[in-house]
A and B are shown apart, each in its own frame.
Chain A
Amino acid sequence: MSNEVVVKVRGVTKRFGDRVIFENISLDVHKSEVVAIIGPSGVGKSTFIRCINHLHSFDEGTIDVQGFRLVGGQSPSKAELQALHNSVGMVFQTFNLFPHLTVLDNIVLAPMQVKKQARQQAIDRAMHLLAMVGLQNRANTFPKRLSGGEQQRVAICRALAMEPEIMLFDEPTSMLDPELVGDVLEFIQRLARTGMTMVLVTHEMMFAKEVADTVVVMADHGIAEMGPAREVLESPRTERARSFLRRVLNPVGSPREPNLVANGGDDR
């Protein structure tokens, strides 16, 4: 990770109607940094990362992404949004592959429509990406025929085909059967090693500890704690973070300390 800040969030507040989802969030994401966002369900993690690529607007503050500035309460121009979406890829909890298109057509659609790539060039790149996850022989299948884990890997390929600078992941494995989680996480980890900048909402604490540089704990309409992954996960300083980690790491409520459970991951 370098010193260059590629996502700069300052004082961002988001409301749905009168309801405040989060308030005054500030955060820097550096080039090649992996930021994991954790926190209880409903706290606004998804809403927050959707603000970064403007799937949601926000009410106050600013978000600078790769030199483009989103301002609370203002709508960016079409050209600005286009540029934003060109440099930020997103992977969803529910995969959201286009069911009427084959795996290959899912991947080549945006490069051809948005970047005006020639079909053959787009196909070459798509096949290269599919080969990275061992799915090159599924190129002409429809998404419905794939397992959840395969669909999610295709969805990651689809985002990567646009050659983004930053990738956003919203709980990429929480809809998967446990035995399918590994392949997807492994792909994301490989991506992290190539230096991809990533913001990742996850409930996989071990994965966060292994792959993330920084962990952000969201609670009570804001960021409760933020810091180096290992520190935050093993010895959280705030009570909010501690109580959240105690609950996720010890769902059945045995009286162990969180760090005893979180100590499993090996050094990178």
Chain B
Amino acid sequence: MALGRMSRIRPLSTVSTVFIEVVRSIPVLVILFLVYYSLGQIGIKLTGMAAAIVGLGAFYATLYAEVFRAGILGVDNGQREAAIALGLSHRDVLRKIILPEAFFSILPNATNQLSNLIKDTSLVFTIGVADLMFQAQSASAVTFEPMDMFLLAGVIYFLFYLILSKVLARWELNVQRSRS
């Protein structure tokens, strides 16, 4: 999608740009509702799980597209010129220079977005998929201690997030170390 938006092929870049801008400007929750309920009304019935995957997938795909685009545009133009001056084809310039270099600036952003994605899975309970928040809600209905249950859910999210971000941070550090 990022490449599509930067493409010199007009229709491709227009479609990508419009799709990215539209999806990106709508709150995730609204997208989930749109996918689950509105698509249902026009005859595309999705299970809660499928709707969650499609909705979150579309939203994060566009976020990632923008992260990638920023990374690619962020590569110093001198790199591109040096590669072209050496006679590399456009395909090789992209494959051997631009993408590997963009990767390093994309990585921190991309891992941030991944953390957001985990947190946004909590929204999915609004369309009835049994995620952690949903479990907490049903558990609280049984135990009549909603605060405890939601607190527990929060703690579990936090732990999950903490572990993941530590893993990603270590990975980033390794990548950075290999470059300096």
Q: Do A and B bind each other?
A: yes
| Residue ID in chain B nearest A161 by CB atoms | B86
The answer to whether A142 and B78 touch across the interface, beta carbons within 8 angstroms, is: no
Of the candidates B79, B87, B101, the one whose C-beta lies within 8 Å of that of A85 is: B87
Q: A90 to B87: give the CA distance in the assembly, Å.
A: 11
Answer whether A162 and B84 are a contact pair too, CB < 8 Å, given A99-B101, A100-B179, A142-B179.
no
* A120 CB–B CB distance under 8 Å: no
The answer to whether A86 and B82 touch across the interface, beta carbons within 8 angstroms, is: no
The answer to whether A96 and B179 touch across the interface, beta carbons within 8 angstroms, is: no
Complex interface: chain A residues within 8 A of B96 (CB): 109, 113
Number of residues in A with C-beta < 8 Å to the partner? 27
In the complex, how many angstroms separate the beta carbon of B149 from the nearest chain A beta carbon? 48
Complex interface: chain B residues within 8 A of A162 (CB): 86-87
The answer to whether A110 and B87 touch across the interface, beta carbons within 8 angstroms, is: yes
Q: A267 to B179: give the CA distance in the assembly, Å.
A: 45
Instruction: Tally A-B pairs: CB < 8 A.
Output: 64
Q: Which of B41-83 contact A (CB under 8 A)?
A: 76, 78-79, 81-83
Q: A1 to B37: give the CA distance in the assembly, Å.
A: 79
Q: A148 to B86: give the CA distance in the assembly, Å.
A: 20
| Residue ID in chain A nearest B90 by CB atoms | A78
Chain A to chain B contacts (Cβ below 8 Å), 24 pairs: A53-B85, A85-B84, A85-B85, A85-B86, A86-B87, A88-B85, A89-B86, A90-B85, A92-B78, A94-B78, A97-B82, A98-B97, A100-B100, A100-B101, A100-B179, A109-B88, A109-B96, A110-B86, A110-B88, A113-B92, A114-B92, A144-B180, A159-B86, A162-B87
